[in-house]
Structure 1
Amino acid sequence: MTDNKRLAYSIIQFLRDQLQSGDLSSDAQESLEVAVQCLETAFGISVENEDLAVSRTLPEIFSAAVLEEVPNVVVDSDLHSPTVEDLSKAELLKTEGNEQMKIENYQSAVDYYTKAIELNPNNAVYFCNRAAAYSKLGNYSGAVQDCEKAIAFDPCYSKAYGRMGLALASLNKYSEAVDYYKKALELDPDNESYKANLGVAEQKIKDAPSPTGGSGGFDLAGLLNNPGFMNMASNLMQNSQVQQLVSGMMSGSYGPVGGTAGGPGTGANDIAGLIQARQSNP
């Protein structure tokens, strides 16, 4: 059970890091907060249990595992020098991929770009084009990875920065998207598409509600309108121990929560009633 607790602790650490990143919507933050609380309750641990921490973070462990699964990946460009024939075939494959994009056959486009990359893995254009196809398919994480590779091969490739911004914005990472749109505009200052996308991302940041619902306090209304939370709360209220705990809190046994002990508007049944009322009146 100790290993399970250490794994759960690492997951909780990862989730808390995501909450602190500032890239999540208010709904996503609420969902992660509920997930953290559920994990802590299920495994009987908390953030104070530092003795459960391991030397590497969960993302670091995952990255190491991925590398172990793909030992034949070429990481040194010198190990693969495309022949003239390879370069010619890769260009033909890229052109075919472009044609598939025009007719909105995005998966086929991905396949052609991938074959081109296999023949010439150091071409920024191939990765950038595949990123565009991935975005059309909704694979924004794949698009981000391909844009990163394109930028690594060509740091002055404005289109790669623009497509990176688009993929990040689609993942609701507007702050990061703004940075990439700005870089794209530095390299291509007359591009109206980058200007428009930058404006949209900046407006999204301005319109994003604060984690406290914009009022400086706990956003109870937002929490009660969260379907995931309401479903979890309904299930919890069926547990007799939870009912006793809430009843004790509401009666004053565990400290005042609202109302007077034993008075109207208190007790587990009233909480359950509130939850049922919110579910029946969406």
Structure 2
Amino acid sequence: MSDNTKRLVFSIIQFLNDQLGSGKLSADSQEGLEVAVQCLETAFEVSADDQSFAVSQTLPEIFSNAVSKLPAAAAPQAKAATTPTNQQIAEAEQLKVDGNAQMQAENFSTAVELYSKAIALSPQNAVYYGNRAAAHSKLGNHVGAVQDCEAAIKINPKYCKAYGRMGTALTSLNRHTEALHFYKKALELDPSNQTYKSNLAIGEQKVQTPPTGPTDGMGGMDFSGLFNNLELRNMATSLMSNPQVSSLMNNPQVQQLVSGITGAFGPTGAPGAAEGGTPTTDGGSGQAS
């Protein structure tokens, strides 16, 4: 047994003896500590009278010194964002109105920016997330639309448009079974909405009918989502205006390859509508709230 171990035990015995001499313990507690001291002395062969194992600091002093060196407790986390002021609410509402105007003008990227600013000012308004989801869908960003719909539903579980837009976004991602759940929930909240009824019927048909068309044998790649992505189309247009790309496209072998690809998608260069139609947005107009 090392001397350091005996020094530690000696310090413990010393601490217990100090407690016994404090007069603050009951008779039963004193008796228990006396037994503990005797057991320690016997087990570790250390006597309270043997000062050779004494150290410069008592056990409480060593402990206090160790505690003082601990890192300061972490500051409590900031409270949840405070309720927006009336001015912030008014500004957010105006941003939503401006975003809706941009949606009608088909400036969907600008609409996303405006709705995002409205959310920053009033983050607990489900409508702002729902409207941004609609704008994301118009841009072909269906994953972003799903995320915004999830946020809107979390804030307001009875916001029917969020369920409808979630169903549309999931359908665009070929997640038809999941989409059905949200179409049904939207219809449950708004039973007379013909768009939700139509989308539910289309979704049920898609689930029952195996996928056919140009995606077969290509890992289920969603070409329709690619061709409907406005930003991707703009990028392609810019790319094709590059003289080097134009020169490359005049190569007979490249033309033959492109011809083979476009032939699989029909004369328009995009896949045809799936059997049963394509789900529409709220009321068939796609207008934001």
Q: What's the TM-score once normalised by structure 1's chain length?
A: 0.48
Structure number with bigger Rg:
2
Higher helix share: 1
